[in-house]
Amino acid sequence: MAKKPVTFILNGSERAAFAEEGLNLLEFLRRGIGDLSPKYGCGQGTCGACTVIIDGETHLSCLTMAVAIEGRKVETASGLANGKVHPLQEAFMEHFAAQCGYCTPGMLMSAKVLLDRNPAPTRADVIEAISGNLCRCTGYEPIIDAILATANMRRLA
């Protein structure tokens, strides 16, 4: 397979690396770039563990071709903390929203896009926003609580 150069913005910094044609963005980020925050779950678009934000929208990195992100803005969970942990990360810890932690980076990406667009989501909005992310540990309730608590905290701040 031929390799192609891919230049893109990852969590605010320009990055460039070679990607094999057909390589998915998840493998490209993990092996090519060294960002291990997006996780490989199913490789079929079912579990959401590989969720990243591309140009402000959540995408499944395992179903995105690496060469297709040329010139685009990609955000991953590793870019959330800025000197200190992000309020969503703080709330996930506070509410025990992570057990094994494998779904957490994807959950955080879905939650971030939700709160960026809708600062006062209802419980139903949160459930819908994370409906593409599977969690096999928590039963979802602590995750929903953590996201709602983050929204409440921000409104009070």
Applying CB under 8 A, which residues contact another protein? 1-2, 21-22, 24, 43-45, 48, 51, 57-60, 62-65, 67-68, 110, 113, 127-129, 131-133
CB of 156 to another protein, least distance (A): 27
CB of 4 to another protein, least distance (A): 8
- How far is Cα 93 from Cα 17, in angstroms, rounded to an integer? 34
Closer residue to another protein, CB minimum distance, 89 or 110: 110
CB of 57 to another protein, least distance (A): 5
- State the alpha helices, DSSP H only, in 25-156: 25-27, 87-94, 104-117, 123-129, 141-156
Closer residue to another protein, CB minimum distance, 97 or 109: 109
Contact 71, 55 (CB under 8 A): no
Closer residue to another protein, CB minimum distance, 14 or 57: 57
Closer residue to another protein, CB minimum distance, 68 or 153: 68
Q: Is 71 exposed, middle or buried (0-12, 13-18, 19+ CB in 10 A)?
A: exposed
